[in-house]
Amino acid sequence: MAKIIEYFIKNRSLNHVLLIFLLLLGVYSYQKIPKEIFPIIELDKIMVTGGYPGASAGNLDKMAVRDIESELGSIEGIEKIETVVLPGSFSILISLEEGADKIDALNKVKDAIAKSRKYLPADMNEPVATLLAHHRPLISLSLSSDTLSFGELIEAAKEIKNKIARINHISEVKIFGDSDKEVSVRIDTKALKAYGLSPSDVVSAVSSLSYIYPIGEVKQRGNFFFISTVHGPKNSIKWEDMIIRVGSKFVRLGDIAEVKFIYPQNKTLSTFNGRRNVTLKISKGEEGNSIALSKKLREYVKGLEKQYPKIHFDFYRDSSKVVKNRLDIVISNLMFGFILVFLSMAVLINLRIAAIVAMGIPFAFAIGIVFLYFSGYSINIISLLGGLIVIGIVVDDAIVVAENIQRYINEGYPKHEAVVKGLREMLLPVTLATVTTVAAFLPLFMMSGEIKNFIILIPIAVIMILIGSLIESFLFLPLHAEEFLKKQKNFVDWRAFQEKYERFLHTLIKYKKSFLAFFLLGIPILTVLTVKTMHFQFFPTFDGNYLFITGKLDINTPIEDTMKVASEMERDLLEKKDKFFIKSISTVVGTRRSTASENETGENTFYITLELYEMKPEDFINKYLNPILNLSFDFNDLDKIRTLHTYELAKMIRKELSKYEKKYHIEDFGVIEEKPGLIKSDIQLNFIGKNDKLIVSAIEHLKKEVLNIPGIKDVSDNIQYGKKEYKLRINSYGERLGFSEAYIAKALSGYFLDNRKAMSFDKDGVMEIKTRALKKDEAETFFDFEIVSLSGEVVRLRDIVDFIETRDYEKIEKRDGDVVKSLFINVDKHVITPEEMLDKLSPFIEKLKKEGITIKLYGEKEKNRQFASDMKTATVLALFLILITLLFIFPKLKYAFMVMSVIPLSLLGAFLGHKLLGINLTMPSVIGLLGLAGVVINDGIIMLDFLHGTHKAKEFFERAKLRLRPILITSITTFLGLFSLIFYATGQAVILQPIAVSLGFGLLWGTVLNLIYLPALYAVVNKIDLKKDR
């Protein structure tokens, strides 16, 4: 290794060209690498979807879902199966075990569906299984018009959707507010009676009016041709003029039915800033660059505005703006950290060393970016903050190497000899110091589940930048040192500090046992007492730019009435938009995310998205320094005017809209803040048991207990009842007439079941043909519906069947085949944490378990369990890796354990840092503690490596005081590198602030330990005594 390094020092041209090449490769990689807010989370999941129109949740579960679940249960590699059954549709989410072959699992799932096909209804479409793909929301495009009809707007929206979908890296374009064109044949049951026609025969006749499939082909020599039909009439007038045969009679369709080409009642309706619209929700793929794609889309839409002059185009929810703003903030923080580190080195060492060390920082980061790009990762908040965490650590290697070279130059050695000699001395200790830091972060790769996918970029960024720093310190820095360094005194004279430190060491050694007792007994006790006063939450609460208002009305509410209620709230908020710092409002009716973050559809549901202005910067760093460092020079950004946090606005808006909650009896009403995405609800309690009444009673009881505890945001469950259902039971009169369930069902389905009877084509593609009763949605039409018996008698439905009224659950949720009733709780973490809430609920939960109810905890508790298990393994592995590394320097175990004893004692500094800043312990805090283990012992290595082998007090003091300067310099540069993230974190950067707090404050306290505790421990172990030495 030394020969390779010396070769690079001698070959100046190769050295310089290679450095420039790697820097340019870093710039290229940065330009090409995808940029987004959060990393792509790999989804090892398969989704099975299916449905049957008109079926209640209970019936659909019995006739389809259970059989599919039964077949799925035998497939290996499945971790869990989560099912949601709604009226008319169902979805089965299959989570695979880590490392499972997704394609193989998908094929097995498709085979399982095929096996269950024999149990499914003959006219039911086979359920579809797909690998769950991850779509990153990019931007929303609102289309509205003052002149076009809604049908014309929908057709234009579909054309625009297809054009946008063809843009490279656009993965999905979803339309809200649209519907598919269809031929609606509304049959007049009174006309049928007048003509003496059988309702079933009429539906059969209509079903045969259009045929879309090929008929055949003729291959006459020189005259090949295909055969097909015209696929039915192309307008409603021609449809109504058609003569159909019903039994032995011929009748004009228009005499017994009303035919229209319609866009049926939309499944979703949407508005933007109070205007009815069609919304295109555009998502990008994994490789797409949010900023570049958004810019490209805006340019593309300028062209569309000319093609569609009657349509208003409005962009909103542009994630690229958030990405750019957040990246600008983090990059400016990186620049600020870089400046602080450079100035501290210039002051504490000298300007020349500061310059050559600072030159290595861009190279180290370039190596990190190159690795991220070619490994398929992205630049995002997590990876950039990983870089920010390490910016102070990354210079440690270069400082130690440069200082050692400077020492030999000052002693009069020729430059080349000083460089080689200084470098060789530092080769092993610097390499092992880097390895210890890498060893602390390396076990994070062993984490499992979604947490791993979210956090893995931190160890990747840290490790790759540290490796880049090591390469720069040994290959490029030596040549820079030879070219720039010369005999020079340090800016600060450290002798006075060293003498004071030596005098303190005399006192320390005199009372070494007392000092040691304090550190080994007092510090652990203080650490435990501090931890007991702290609160834990999985993720920190951060200030986003969006609030979401969600709710649902009575189950029987039609979509138009739901839109009226949502629009009323929307208008109210638009009038107060300045008060609540609202930038735009978009509303979707017909689908929503509940307060438990569960996706839900239904005509009675609504979801209002509030885009807020950004927080107004108040501190000097964010207000003045960041605009300079990110080169925007925008000191008065008009988008940054908000003075209230999102959690404060959420409370205010919730209070403002409470009048609508009472007026319209809105259920599961809430104002939701942005979350990182790993946890849907803070607390989820799943109840499993055979006694439905007991479970429902238990949930209601627990709900009351929860509402009595301060700090509750919202409480919801999944036990709401759906629409009522009439079950038909043939009475004795019906039986005597020969009616069967199948006969009656077939007669009724053509008039009341929203299912296609045939298909047709128009210029835009396939249209479904559906038949309905003219007054289908009037109860009397159903009860008095006339059916012709097999013997030709015409009777009313109410005369031949008994109606049994039932009411099923609105939806059925299952986990691994068991039906679960769930209670969802979200808390205000400024008042109470999920852990504290569960502690308060624990007595009630235990009481319910004794009554025979199985209760399982999910939400944050589930993630905590998984994280705690992973961290135990990671901690043990990290400590063993660090121990192995230390044994390369200190052959005896006692010295390795002496250095490692600093790790648990340094935790107190990290905990006190959290207390000082008033933040809770979180999952990132714990990751920071793991990283601290690798960072804090580097100073311990510096101290003990110099003390190692000393047995006399005089030599002990002389060597110890020489370590004061490098230990303080490396600690100060590391802390200053973390400074902006510790004290000035904003937006999503708050998520990783606890890592910086753990590292920064832990290192400060660790520095005290390495300068005081470690010498005292060494003196006791090696029996260094002032009296004995005299």
CATH of the domain at 606: 3.30.70.1430
804 and 665 in a common domain:
no
Residue among 797, 805, 803, 801 at smallest CA distance from 747: 797
Tokens 């925008």: give the residue: 634
In the chain, the largest separation of any two C-alpha atoms, in whole Å, equals 128
Check if the beta carbon of residue 751 is closer than 8 Å to that of residue 771: yes
Residue 606 is predicted with a pLDDT of 95
482 and 340 in a common domain:
yes
CA torsion through residues 102, 106, 109, 115, sign: negative
504 and 484 in a common domain:
no
Check if the beta carbon of residue 45 is closer than 8 Å to that of residue 96: yes
Structure tokens at 1012: 């005081």
452 and 413 in a common domain:
yes
405 and 460 in a common domain:
yes
Q: How far apart are CA 408 and CA 425, in angstroms?
A: 11
**Which residues contact residue 428 at a Cβ distance below 8 angstroms, ignoring those fewer than 6 apart?**
888, 889
Q: How far apart are CA 997 and CA 437, in angstroms?
A: 17
511 and 393 in a common domain:
no
Residue among 153, 155, 131, 130 at smallest CA distance from 142: 153
Q: Return the beta strands (E) in 820-898 as ranges.
A: 821-827, 854-859
CA distances from 432 to 267, 706, 962, 971, 1003 (A): 62, 53, 21, 18, 18
Q: What are phi and psi of 269, to 5 degrees?
A: -120, 150
Identify the H or E element spanning 615. Answer: strand 614-615
Q: How far apart are CA 15 and CA 636, in angstroms?
A: 45
Is 474 inside any structural domain?
A: yes
Structure tokens at 652: 């205010």
765 and 662 in a common domain:
no
Q: How far apart are CA 675 and CA 592, in angstroms?
A: 16
Q: Would you give the DSSP letter of residue 621?
A: I
- Residue 245's DSSP bridge partners are 250
**Which residues contact residue 896 at a Cβ distance below 8 angstroms, ignoring those fewer than 6 apart?**
883, 886, 887, 890
The pLDDT averaged over each successive group of 10 residues in the chain (1030 residues) is: 75 88 91 78 83 85 89 87 89 86 90 86 85 80 86 86 89 75 88 89 90 87 87 87 90 92 75 85 81 90 91 88 75 78 83 86 88 84 76 79 84 86 83 85 80 80 87 86 80 79 85 85 93 87 88 90 94 93 91 85 91 84 75 73 91 94 92 79 87 87 88 86 88 92 90 83 80 89 90 90 88 87 87 87 87 84 81 88 87 89 94 93 88 86 82 84 84 84 79 88 93 89 69
Check if the beta carbon of residue 5 is closer than 8 Å to that of residue 475: yes
Burial per residue of 627-645, b for 16 or more beta-carbon CB atoms within 10 angstroms, e otherwise: bebbeeeeeeeeeeebebb
Local structure of 212: helix, strand or coil = coil
CA distances from 192 to 113, 203, 208, 1005 (A): 41, 11, 18, 90
Q: How far apart are CA 899 and CA 933, in angstroms?
A: 11
CA distances from 678 to 53, 858, 859, 863, 1017 (A): 33, 12, 9, 9, 44
How many Cα atoms within 13 Å fall on the side-chain side of residue 831?
A: 11
Q: Using DSSP bridges, classify how beta strands 821-827 and 712-717 pair: parallel, antiparallel or unpaired.
A: antiparallel
768 and 671 in a common domain:
no
Q: How far apart are CA 280 and CA 18, in angstroms?
A: 48
Is 691 inside any structural domain?
A: no
Domain range for residue 908?
496-533+890-1030
Is 588 inside any structural domain?
A: yes
Q: How far apart are CA 326 and CA 988, in angstroms?
A: 8
Q: What is the dihedral of CA 197, 198, 199, 202, to 10 degrees?
A: -70
Check if the beta carbon of residue 1005 is closer than 8 Å to that of residue 998: no
654 and 748 in a common domain:
no
What is the total count of domains within the chain? 5
Q: Of 781, 809, 837, which residue sits at a domain end?
A: 809
905 and 947 in a common domain:
yes
CATH number at residue 771: 3.30.2090.10
- In this structure, the number of other CB atoms found within 10 A of the CB of residue 698 comes to 24
Is 440 inside any structural domain?
A: yes
Q: Of 784, 809, 834, which residue sits at a domain end?
A: 809
Q: Of 809, 840, 862, which residue sits at a domain end?
A: 809
Could you tell me the pTM of the whole model?
Answer: 0.78
736 and 649 in a common domain:
no
Please give the single-letter amino acid code of residue 331: I
Residue among 478, 862, 551, 857 at smallest CA distance from 679: 862
CATH number at residue 984: 1.20.1640.10
Q: Let me know if 899 is exposed, middle or buried by CB neighbors in 10 A (0-12, 13-18, 19+).
A: buried
Structure tokens at 981: 């993230």
Q: How far apart are CA 797 and CA 795, in angstroms?
A: 7
Helix-helix angle 741-752:199-207, to 10 degrees = 60
Burial per residue of 448-464, b for 16 or more beta-carbon CB atoms within 10 angstroms, e otherwise: ebbbbbbbbbbbbbbbb
Residue among 171, 139, 179 at smallest CA distance from 155: 179
1012 and 934 in a common domain:
yes
Is 292 inside any structural domain?
A: no
Q: How far apart are CA 41 and CA 678, in angstroms?
A: 10
